[in-house]
Amino acid sequence: MGISIFQFFPTDNSSIQQILSLIFYAIFFFYLFFGQQLQVQRILLSISGALNKIKDAQDRSRREIIDFLQKNDYKGDAISHINTLIEYFTISPVDLDPTGLVKKIEHILSVRDERIRGEVRSMLPEKDALTISILENLLEIAAALNVYYKVVRHYYLIGKKTSNLYLLMQLQMVLPDLLREVEALVSAIEPIKNAQPIGDGIGPMVAGRLLLNSEKKQIARDTIFGEVNYKNRVLYVIKAEGPAGNVGQPGNAIEYLISNYGLKPAAIIMIDAALKLEGEATGEVAEGAGAAIGGIGVDKYKIEEIASKNNIPLYAIIIKESIVEAITCMTKEIVEAIPKVLNRIDYLLENRTKEGDSVIVVGVGNSIGVGQ
């Protein structure tokens, strides 16, 4: 005997029919009046899970700094020192009158950098530049994770307090991307602690390859340069000073070479890692025009300003990678991009400059684990 679906939904006035109708109406009215609260609770649960993950990441970054300090014989009150540095903030200058804004940003950033570096040096006074830079980078990671945690917690608590479904939905929508960035920051701790090159270091790696066997001089804070005779041209190769974790000041370095050194370059070639779009291959090399440099924009502004004022062509060569690859240990695919970048430089030199010309080549990025 077959079972008919109508047996579950009888059409007569039996007691089963009445119970089923009652259940249906109960569910219908429950969702009508309490559906939003139910959704709020469901989203709060999923955000609280993500918040715990961010908290774990934040705690781990602090633990790593404490371990690092202990390994380097720090005897003071590590926790209060770390908290002060992690909570250190920077106030952006007023932008109502944008004239001279970059100069003000540069000044404030330089005050912040000097303050943090001074504090880190006072914690480990007898340690070398590499150890100091590792601690600075670890503190930057911890400070970023601290901001992620506090901002997500802020919106989570506001959403919970006001049962604001739309606020919570917005937070839930951005959470996957936020967690990816948190994951990237956590994965960056290990390579930075061990001073291993990161994906962002591909620019300094290419510059370091060009600088092999040449004399290097300091040109700006944490920045070195060297003169290289290559394909009958003189290359002025600039990179952040490694193997410490520096990004240097390429803007100041180029400015110095042109304004103080009297250099009249036929071109400026900038090499940097760039974020790829989903679907693009890691280590893909592309060429374009403009200043290939990230950050707040101080160096970019300076380079664009000096290049346009002196009518110097500005070429960019980028190596594509994801945000996770950019701040975690270097991958083989990115390393394999070096010969391709060198081929592009050769092509630009042969086709866009003449023999005897001077050319500035800048390897942009964090030089951790990359010497010269």
Partner 1 sequence: MANLFKGQKQFKVVTIEECLSCKLKMKRPFKINDYVYKEGEMCQKCGTKMIISAIYKEELKY
Task: Count Cβ neighbours within 10 Å for each residue of 159-172 and write b for 16 or more, e otherwise.
Answer: bbeeeeeebbeebb
Closer residue to partner 1 (CB): 106 or 136: 136
Regarding 208 and contact with partner 1 (CB under 8 A), the answer is yes
| 343 touching partner 1, by CB under 8 A | no
Which residue, 120 or 334, is less far from partner 1 as judged by CB? Answer: 334
Count of CB atoms situated within 10 Å of the CB of 301: 18
Check binding of 371 to partner 1 (CB under 8 A).
yes
Smaller CB separation from partner 1, 201 or 265: 201
Order of strands across the sheet that contains 233-240? 216-220, 223-230, 233-240, 358-363, 267-275, 314-321, 285-289
**Footprint of partner 1 on 58-77 (CB under 8 A):** 60
CA diameter of the chain: 100
**How many residues in total does the chain contain?**
372
From the CB of residue 294, how many other CB atoms can be counted at a distance below 10 Å? 16
Which of 167/342 has CB closer to partner 1? Answer: 342
Say what the alpha-carbon torsion angle 274, 279, 285, 286 is, to the nearest 10 degrees: -80
Residue 329 CB, shortest distance to partner 1, in Å, is 4
Among positions 318-337, residues that touch partner 1 (CB under 8 A) are: 328-332, 334-335
Rule CB under 8 A: choose which of 131, 146, 172, 187 binds partner 1: 187
Give the CA angle between residues 323, 272, 112 to the nearest 5°.
75
- Other CB atoms within 10 Å distance of the CB of residue 8: 9
Q: Which of 186, 238, 268, 360 contacts partner 1 by CB under 8 A?
A: 186
Q: Choose between 137 and 328: whose C-beta lies nearer to partner 1.
A: 328
57 binds partner 1 per the rule CB under 8 A: yes
Structure token digits, residue 57: 């990441």
Smaller CB separation from partner 1, 250 or 283? 283
How far apart are CB 208 and partner 1 at their closest, in Å? 5
Find the binder of partner 1 among 243, 245, 265, 365 (CB under 8 A): 243
The Cα–Cα gap between 56 and 54 comes to 5
Residue 302 CA to residue 193 CA, distance in Å, equals 32
> Shortest Cβ distance from residue 243 to partner 1 (Å)?
4
Task: Rule CB under 8 A: choose which of 27, 212, 275, 286 binds partner 1.
Answer: 212
Residue 40 or 224 having the CB closest to partner 1:
224
* Residue 5 per-residue DSSP state: G
Nearest to 92 by CA among 102, 78, 83: 102
Among 20, 39, 53, 72, binds partner 1 (CB under 8 A): 53
Q: Are 361 and 245 in contact (CB under 8 A)?
A: no
By CB under 8 A, tell whether 210 contacts partner 1.
Answer: no
Residues that bind partner 1 (CB under 8 A): 53, 56-57, 60, 179, 183, 186-187, 190-191, 194-197, 201, 205, 208-209, 212, 242-243, 328-332, 334-335, 338, 369-372
